[in-house]
């Protein structure tokens, strides 16, 4: 486990059906889909290995039935994995007692699901404060923290209204505020925006990115929408039939797909949305450049800057120093590739 890893998943299997562990042992720990089907079993998660770094947004994606939601429930042990190892801050969660897992979920993990699951008889304030009430936090302290979270998600003034009086996007904000109230180290979000209308969904993605810029949480985010994934993710794992078929940055997945499935999955993604300036800049300085841009900026984001910046823009690194130059011709070349 690397020092920066918050969550590590090693050789994790979740097989549904009677005799799952016996079938796994009989196949030497590596049963094929055919082996499982012959035994009347379903391999929902198959030999998954992942490492989620502290402070990153790690997106797990795939089509319906690929195993992504089952995997995230295994990671939090809401579903018991058949075998494997899951390390959270170096602690093996599969060896933790039920009481220990309850403590971890209450104090160190936050969860937001597709269905908001708000308590209809409680106000916004009471909904957000509810996990703190379960923890036994005294009323004044839990309500103070709940008010801070409500303000953070942009719902100040809505503390005393009930869920039925809110729009879908506002209800999801309450769900997010509630999960943040426990100040989690690790935040699980399972398709949190998929039930929302497109415009509201885009607004919630913007809000999510704003929150992350402030909170710097370690996040595991589940989606089936690749556009959403590349907009939010630091890294992405793509699942198919319970397996992770490729893991990497959005740029790596689009430019270097490991399998035909990943290639098909990413085929319609505009390269300009994922290729970073740092990947196509020239390692030269240009004192005449009229503007600067961060190396992590995408080509799509830097392209409009050339309207008033001439033919070159200086590229800066994490320390703010110049590390190269991006040229208009290189940007046009990427844009023309679709």
Average pLDDT of 47-72? 93
Q: Please state whether beta strands 312-316 and 322-327 pair in parallel, antiparallel, or not at all (unpaired).
A: antiparallel
- 272-336, which class in CATH? alpha beta
Among 55, 63, 312, which residue's Cα sits nearest to residue 184? 55
pLDDT above 90 (res 96): yes
Q: What is the mean pLDDT of the chain?
A: 89
23 vs 308, higher pLDDT? 23
The answer on pLDDT for 81 being more than 80 is yes
Overall average pLDDT of the 76-83 stretch: 93
List the structure tokens of 65: 């039935």
Lowest mean per-residue pLDDT among 11-15, 70-74, 223-227, 315-319: 315-319
**Does position 3 have pLDDT exceeding 60, yes or no?**
no
Q: What percent of the chain has pLDDT over 70?
A: 98
Looking at mean pLDDT, say which of 21-35, 44-58, 146-160, 323-337 comes out highest. Answer: 44-58
For residue 47, the SS3 value is strand
pLDDT of residue 153: 86
Model pLDDT, residue 226: 86
- Residue reference for tokens 């969550």: 7
Q: What is the pLDDT of residues 240-273, one digit of tens each?
A: 999 999 999 999 998 899 999 999 888 888 888 8
Q: Domain spans of the chain?
A: 5-108+184-269, 272-336
- In the structure, what pLDDT confidence band is assigned to residue 192 with cuts at 50, 70 and 90? confident
Nearest to 114 by CA among 191, 40, 171: 191
Per-residue buried b or exposed e for 61-92, using 16+ beta carbons within 10 Å of the residue's own CB: bbeeebbbbbbbbbbbbebebbbbebbbeeee
User: 157-190 burial string, b = 16+ CB within 10 Å, else e?
Assistant: ebbeebbeebeebbbbbbbbbbbbbbebbbbbbb
Query: Matching CATH topology for 5-108+184-269 and 272-336?
Result: no
CA atoms within 13 A on the CB side of 159: 14
Q: How many CB atoms lie within 10 A of CB 307?
A: 7
What pLDDT is stored for residue 138 in this prediction? 93
Q: Is the pLDDT of residue 309 over 70?
A: no
φ, ψ (nearest 5 deg) of residue 44: -75, -35
The span from the CA of 331 to the CA of 309, in Å, is 13
Whether the predicted pLDDT of 24 surpasses 60: yes
Give the count of alpha carbons within 13 A of 202, CB side only.
3
pLDDT confidence of residue 306: 84
pLDDT band for position 2 (cuts 50, 70, 90)? low
- CB contact at 8 A, 102 and 113: no
More confident residue, 226 or 319: 226
The whole-model pTM stands at 0.84
Cα gap 306→328, rounded to integer Å = 7
User: For 281-300, how does the pLDDT look when each residue is reduced to its tens digit (9 = 90+)?
Assistant: 888 877 777 788 888 888 88
Q: Which of 310, 313, 309, 311 is nearest to 295 (CA)?
A: 313
pLDDT of residue 78: 92
| Rounded (10°) CA dihedral 150, 155, 156, 162 | -90
Name beta bridge partners: 13: 83
Q: How sure is the predictor about 100, in pLDDT bands with cuts at 50, 70 and 90?
A: very high
Least confident of 16-25, 34-43, 155-164, 283-292: 283-292
Q: Does domain 5-108+184-269 have CATH number 3.40.980.10?
A: no
Instruction: Provide, rounded to the nearest whole percent, the portion of the chain with pLDDT above 90.
Output: 44
CA geometry: angle 120, 121, 127, nearest 5 deg: 70
């Amino acid at each position: 486990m690397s020092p920066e890893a918050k969550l590590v998943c090693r050789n994790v299997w979740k097989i549904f059906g009677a005799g799952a562990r016996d079938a796994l042992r009989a196949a030497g720990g590596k049963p094929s889909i055919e082996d499982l089907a012959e035994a009347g079993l379903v391999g929902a998660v198959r030999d998954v290995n992942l490492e989620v770094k502290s402070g990153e947004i790690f997106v797990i994606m795939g089509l319906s039935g690929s195993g992504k939601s089952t995997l995230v429930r295994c990671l939090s042990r809401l579903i018991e994995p058949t075998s494997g190892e899951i390390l959270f801050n170096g602690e093996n969660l599969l060896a933790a007692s039920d009481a220990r897992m309850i403590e971890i979920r209450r104090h160190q993990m936050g969860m937001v699901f597709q269905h908001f699951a708000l308590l209809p008889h409680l106000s916004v304030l009471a909904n957000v404060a509810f996990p703190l009430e379960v923890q036994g936090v005294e009323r004044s302290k839990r309500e103070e923290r709940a008010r801070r979270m409500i303000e953070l998600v942009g719902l100040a003034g809505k503390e005393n209204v009930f869920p039925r009086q809110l729009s879908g996007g506002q209800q999801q904000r309450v769900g997010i505020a509630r999960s943040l109230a426990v100040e989690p180290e690790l935040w699980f979000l399972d398709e949190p925006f998929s039930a929302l209308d497109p415009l509201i969904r885009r607004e919630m993605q913007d809000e999510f990115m704003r929150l992350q810029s402030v909170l710097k949480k370690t996040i595991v985010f589940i989606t089936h929408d690749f556009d959403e994934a590349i907009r939010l993710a630091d890294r992405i794992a793509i699942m198919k039939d319970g397996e992770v078929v490729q893991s990497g940055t959005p740029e790596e997945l689009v430019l270097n797909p490991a399998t035909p499935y990943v290639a098909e999955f990413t085929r319609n993604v505009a390269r300009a949305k994922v290729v970073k300036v740092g990947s196509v800049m020239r390692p030269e300085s240009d004192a005449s450049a009229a503007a600067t841009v961060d190396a992590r900026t995408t080509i799509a984001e830097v392209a409009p800057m050339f309207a008033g910046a001439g033919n070159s823009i200086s590229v800066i690194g994490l320390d703010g120093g110049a590390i190269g130059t991006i040229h208009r011709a290189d940007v046009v070349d990427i844009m023309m590739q679709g």
